[in-house]
Structure 1
């Protein structure tokens, strides 16, 4: 479980599938109201307080984004407590620690980071025969980021590709919007095939 502060009132938590499996939670369970998911959320909020000083009292907006290979990205935004209703309302707000508004979404994007260009090239040569669309390559925070669209991939093909990606790189929770805004597009389309052809 990795977490980072995005702003004073917003944090991002990245859960791998291993994090979920260790707690006996399946990806589909995140959409259900079950005690294990509540325990996981409490654990995340405790860790966010200890690591980042993020106080999760009051209303929280929680966005959960499921990514096919990497796991789950959870963005928690703290709202402002409503103090306009007098003393009784303040007591109610303080009693109810979490007031959650949860939104769920899924993405078909697989995003992996590579620290070394040589690792990126070795990976490209291995997965090239497995791909029809070679994705987009970005440069972001001194790493090479490969973004692939898994929408048209069969499960077996996706598992094989993710296994190769994991061998050479590491799953990352950075979104395409973030890459386009703050990163640099190196190869816009068919990145894997272009890498294999040029190097």
Structure 2
């Protein structure tokens, strides 16, 4: 586990995929994975307290966790001045039901998806290239009805794979944007399928 301590306020932790595996981290066991992450956070705080006079005892902190495939897990622990912030911690590695990423191996799969989706649903989506895949981000807020969002996700899952390991923040940082908005429409317009 690689750890850096900044200005007695922030700890940055990185575990590569090999170390995650050797420490028992599994993507398919969410509950056990959260317990492991909490253990690593406690381990880092204890180490920082004992070696760097890090004032973590009884101090509220904000924790951010991001998993980047082919790299590993990044954990950031930041001490906060306001006790109420302690309850606002949200794991960054989880997407809620109103946001979905779909990975497509081949661009042809995206063009077939865009051709199949109804015309009124096409003016949505953001498309990236990330980790050798095309990633389509669908957000419920872009659709007029929840049912339309669910239809688009259902069709996308026929041609691509729904991904739950990424966050928009990680993909925005490390991915390359192809279409910032209206991705489905632009793909169907530029690459029509019969």
Aligned to 1:114: 104
Contact 1:62 1:102 in 2 (8 A): no
Aligned to 2:184: 192
Q: Describe the shift of the 1:180–1:47 C-alpha distance in structure 2 as closer, same or farther (beyond 3 A).
A: closer
Contact 2:125 2:139 in 1 (8 A): yes
Contact 1:136 1:189 in 2 (8 A): yes
- 1:53-92 alignment to 2 at 5 Å? 55-57=40-42, 61-62=62-63, 77=76
Contact 2:103 2:136 in 1 (8 A): yes
Q: Describe the shift of the 1:147–1:56 C-alpha distance in structure 2 as closer, same or farther (beyond 3 A).
A: same
Q: Describe the shift of the 1:104–1:176 C-alpha distance in structure 2 as closer, same or farther (beyond 3 A).
A: closer
Aligned to 2:141: 151
Q: Describe the shift of the 1:193–1:128 C-alpha distance in structure 2 as closer, same or farther (beyond 3 A).
A: farther
Q: In angstroms, what is the RMSD of aligned CA positions?
A: 4.2
User: Structure 1: 5+ residue runs without aligned partners?
Assistant: 21-39, 66-74, 81-99
In the TM superposition, what is the alpha-carbon distance from 1:104 to its structure 2 partner?
3.5
Contact 1:128 1:134 in 2 (8 A): no
Aligned to 1:44: 33
Aligned to 1:183: 175
Structure 2: distance between partners of 1:116 and 1:132: 19
Structure 1: distance between partners of 2:149 and 2:137: 13
In the TM superposition, what is the alpha-carbon distance from 1:151 to its structure 2 partner?
1.0
Q: Normalising by structure 1, what TM-score?
A: 0.52
Query: In proportion to residue count, which structure has more strand?
Result: 1
Aligned to 2:50: none
Structure 2: distance between partners of 1:194 and 1:132: 8
Query: 1:137 is matched with which residue: 127, 135, 144?
Result: 127
Structure 1: distance between partners of 2:142 and 2:115: 21
Aligned to 1:27: none
In the TM superposition, what is the alpha-carbon distance from 1:139 to its structure 2 partner?
0.9
Q: Describe the shift of the 1:175–1:115 C-alpha distance in structure 2 as closer, same or farther (beyond 3 A).
A: same
In the TM superposition, what is the alpha-carbon distance from 1:47 to its structure 2 partner?
5.9
